[in-house]
Amino acid sequence: MDNLLFNLFAVFTVACALGVVFNRNTVAAALCLLLCLVGVAGLFALLDATLLAFVLVFVYAGAVVALFLFIIMLLDAQGGTRRPFGRMAIAAGVLAAGLLATGVILLAGATGPAAPLPASPDNTLAAPAQLLFTQYLLPLQVVGFLLLIAMLGVIVLSKRFEGLEDIK
Amino acid sequence: MIPASLNACLVLSAVLFAIGFLGVLVRRNTLIIYMCLELMLVASTLALVAFSRYNGTLDGNVFVFFILTVAAAEVAVGLAIIVALFRKRQTVQVELLNQLKD
């Protein structure tokens, strides 16, 4: 049953990811990204990371994709023409495809005895919170400060200052 | 309850990452390239969550939590830069944004 769900979510996620890449319409690509993130959230839930599944839907599917859509509407930017690939792009593509194929073959071909699966960590809200506010308290504060700095930076970037046009 | 195996999760993560990379290579619209970058980031977090689950610890989950926070900040700043660029150059097509190259 779990395997079936995993395969279902995996196929759904990959299909939506392909939709992001190959959609000519930018808005449709953003909506494909939304569906892809929902698929990944489902996979997180299957991997017993319930909190992260919720956070992914809230932060990514909610805020980030909405921001993308807002900017797409603001700029009215459509898909654009696809140029023939340069030599560098072809080399990079071949290299990346080779690496991916190697990795997939190695991973799929690994047949050693599976390690016994450890018991699921306590995945209620309390356990990650316990970690966040004890062991990872300093990173938590730093990340909060980073969010503040990012907010100020965005305000500076998007506000027009009188007489300071040359800073952009 | 657990899906498939660690290897299946890693293969899926690699495939998602490759699709994102493909998008960065073939697309010419800055916004789509940015979405594909986000896709690559999410693919790597999937691997982290899988490793965390198969080790029976929560530290990987906490790390992904931080990654999501930083990614949110990064998206906001990146999109602000794209908007500022669009104001100045009136385009988001990368082939027209090659002033530094010339």
Burial of residue A133, with CB atoms counted within 10 A of its CB: 0-12 exposed, 13-18 middle, 19 or more buried: exposed
Confidence band of B1 (pLDDT split at 50, 70, 90): very low
Total domains in chain A come to 2
Is A132 near chain B, with CB under 8 Å?
A: yes
Largest separation between any pair of C-alpha atoms in chain A: 69
Distance from CA of B102 to the nearest CA of A (A): 17
Residues in chain B: 102
- Rounded to a whole number of angstroms, the distance from the CA of B75 to the nearest CA of chain A is 7
Q: How many CB atoms lie within 10 A of CB A83?
A: 12
Q: What is the CATH number of the domain that holds A21?
A: 1.20.120.1200
- Rounded Cα–Cα distance for residues B90 and B96 (Å): 10
**What is the pLDDT tens value at each position of chain A, 168 positions in all?**
678 889 999 999 999 999 999 888 889 999 999 999 999 999 999 988 888 999 999 998 889 999 999 998 888 765 555 556 678 778 888 888 888 888 888 877 776 556 666 766 666 788 888 888 999 999 999 999 999 999 999 998 888 766 655 555
Residue A85's pLDDT is 67
Is the Cβ–Cβ distance between A36 and B39 less than 8 Å?
Answer: yes
B100 part of contact set with chain A, CB < 8 Å = no
Residue A135 one-letter amino acid: Q
- Predicted pLDDT at A40: 95
Task: Please give, rounded to a whole number of angstroms, the shortest distance from the CA of B31 to a CA of chain A.
Answer: 8
B53 vs A contacts (CB less than 8 Å): 47-49, 120-121
CB-based contact, B33 to chain A, within 8 Å: no
Q: How many domains does chain B have?
A: 1
| Chain A from 86 to 125: CB within 8 A of any B CB | 89, 92-93, 96-97, 100, 103-104, 107-108, 110, 114-115, 117-122
Q: What does the angle CA B93 – CA B98 – CA B100 come to, to the nearest 5 degrees?
A: 145
Residue of higher predicted confidence among B73 and B94: B73
In terms of C-beta distances under 8 Å and separation of at least 24 residues, what long-range contacts does B81-85 make, across chains too? B81/A157, B82/A71, B82/A75, B82/B30, B82/B31, B82/B34, B83/A71, B83/A74, B83/A75, B83/A157, B83/A158, B84/A157, B84/A158, B84/A168, B85/B30
B35 CB within 8 Å of a chain A CB: yes
Q: Is the pTM of this model over 0.80?
A: yes
Find chain B residues with C-beta within 8 A of A76's C-beta.
none
Query: What count of Cα atoms within 13 Å lies in the side-chain half-sphere of residue A101?
Result: 6
Q: Nearest 5°: CA angle at A37, between A34 and A42?
A: 130
Chain centroid to CA A38:
10
Please check whether residue B65 touches A, CB under 8 A.
yes
Same domain (yes/no): A58, A8? yes
Q: Is A118 contained in some domain?
A: no
Q: Give B40's pLDDT tier (boundaries 50, 70, 90).
A: very high
Report d(CA A109, CA A107) in Å as an integer: 5
Question: How far is B22 from B17, CA to CA, in rounded Å?
Answer: 9
pLDDT tens digit sequence for B4-38: 678 888 889 999 998 998 888 888 888 999 999 99
Inside any domain, residue B102: no
**A104 and A52 co-located in one domain:** no
Task: For residue B23, give its domain range.
Answer: 6-97
Dihedral Cα B62, B65, B66, B67, nearest 10 deg: 120
The answer to whether residue A68 is domain-embedded is yes
Phi, psi at A136, each rounded to 5°:
-110, 35
A55 and A132 both lie in a single domain: no
Whether residue A154 sits in one domain with residue A107:
yes
Q: Does a structural domain hold residue A120?
A: no
A27 located within any domain: yes
Task: Assess if residue A122 is contained within a domain.
Answer: no
With CA atoms as reference, the chain A residue closest to B34 would be A68
The reply to whether A123 falls in a domain is no
Residue B63 counted as domain residue: yes
Residue A7's domain spans which residues? 1-77
Amino acid at A160: R
The answer to whether A26 faces chain B, any CB pair under 8 Å, is yes
A99 and A60 housed in the same domain: no
Which residue type occupies A14? V
Residues A22 and A71 in one domain: yes
Do A48 and A101 lie in one domain? The reply is no
Residue A146 within a domain = yes
**Choice between A47 and B91, residue whose per-residue pLDDT is larger:** A47
**What's B10's domain CATH number?**
1.10.287.3510
Q: Of B24, B100, B12, which Cα lies nearest the Cα of A14?
A: B12
Cβ contacts from A onto B, under 8 A: 228
Residue B1 lies in a domain: no
